[in-house]
Amino acid sequence: MGGVSSSRFEPSAASASDHWTFSGILRNDGGGFCGWRTKAFETPLDANGFEGVYLKVRFTSDDEPEKRTYKLTVRDDQTRGEYVRQGMFEVPKATGSEFSTVLVPFSSLVAVRGPVINPNAPPFKKDTVFQIGMVISKFKIAASMETIEDFRDGPFSMDISEVGFYSEENVGNVSPSTFPVMSNTTKSSFGRSVLGPVFKLVFSEKSRRRRAALNVLVDRAEKRNGAKKGLGRAWLQSVSVSYRNRARSRGYLSAASTFARRLVADSVKFFLGKTLKLLVFYPIFASFKLVKLFKVKVLGKAPVPEMK
């Protein structure tokens, strides 16, 4: 998931053997995408003789599926690098309980980093399909970070009953042993055990919503006053409003207690977030840049497009 978006891909509660349900909340802030993918296949699938990938889908959350973009994701190597192959497709409106068949030709797949096309990528290898997945997003596949104009954020839900390869003669089902177990069902590592609770505290849904609300306050203040207003002042404004409302309904003692708890909790989250940036995120991003620089300057590889 990207930014403050969140999603799940799991067997349908109605009938686990019939289909799986891909559902979640798309947020316009941050990354603005959700996705699922299979585990990497131990033995790659050979798609020679097939024209592409088909999905049997049913959009159930609303009657405006066209206000999101949908991308099939295919990985044709074992490197687990930042580049994958993607092809956009349309999801039709649901017609009762029927599933619609969507076709994504291999010829439409392009190499991307995020939503940005990599023009220097080698051709797609049909005989080494190591992973299949899907992304729902506000971004189109383009040379830059291009979004759809009427993107609809908020809740979404769609059912998927089949994913496989198709040819001109027929649509054949592909069911490798690892499908549809998702790649996020890996064993817990030491880093995940240690950092997991910290990430949940700093990046919880409640924290994300509060941060989004603060950003709205900052934007409104800048439009109204014509000057920048930091998150600190926005936080004080939101806390003061909450304090006054709490005092009127529950009394000053309860309001003061709530203010103290929120001050401590937000302070802890703030310092943990800054620590994660300095000790985890910044070193990781710096190492990525060094690796890219080494590939271009030393190995002579073509530079990759930036996501902007």
Peptide bond into 180 cis (omega under 30): yes
How many other C-beta atoms lie within 10 A of the C-beta of residue 228?
9
pLDDT in the model for residue 9 = 87
pLDDT top residue among 255 and 197? 255
Average pLDDT over residues 148-177: 79
What are the distances in angstroms from CA 148 to CA 3, 90, 222? 17, 13, 26
pLDDT in the model for residue 150 = 86
Burial of 155 (0-12, 13-18, 19+ CB in 10 A): exposed
Report whether pLDDT(192) > 80. no
Q: How confident is the model at residue 146 (pLDDT cuts 50, 70, 90)?
A: confident
- Of 24-33, 79-88, 127-136, the range with the highest mean pLDDT is 127-136
Q: Please state, in angstroms and rounded to a whole number, the distance separating the CA atoms of residues 73 and 37.
A: 8
Q: How confident is the model at residue 217 (pLDDT cuts 50, 70, 90)?
A: low
Average pLDDT over residues 5-24: 79
Mean pLDDT of the chain: 78
Quote the pTM value. Answer: 0.63
Average pLDDT over residues 265-290: 81
Average pLDDT over residues 267-272: 78
Report whether pLDDT(228) > 70. no
Q: Which domains does the chain have, with CATH numbers?
A: 6-186 (2.60.120), 200-297 (no CATH)
pLDDT in the model for residue 36 = 92
Report whether pLDDT(195) > 60. no
Residues of the chain with pLDDT > 90, as a percent, come to 27
What are the distances in angstroms from CA 307 to CA 5, 142, 145, 273, 285? 19, 10, 6, 24, 14
Q: What confidence tens digit (pLDDT) does each residue in 24-49 have?
A: 988 876 567 899 998 888 899 999 99
pLDDT in the model for residue 266 = 77
Report whether pLDDT(55) > 70. yes
Average pLDDT over residues 206-223: 63
What are the distances in angstroms from CA 141 to CA 137, 144, 238? 10, 8, 38
pLDDT in the model for residue 215 = 64
Average pLDDT over residues 92-119: 89
Q: Please state, in angstroms and rounded to a whole number, the distance separating the CA atoms of residues 117 and 143.
A: 5
Q: How confident is the model at residue 12 (pLDDT cuts 50, 70, 90)?
A: confident
The H helix count followed by the E strand count for the chain is 5, 12
Q: Which of 14-18, 80-84, 96-100 has the lowest mean pLDDT?
A: 14-18
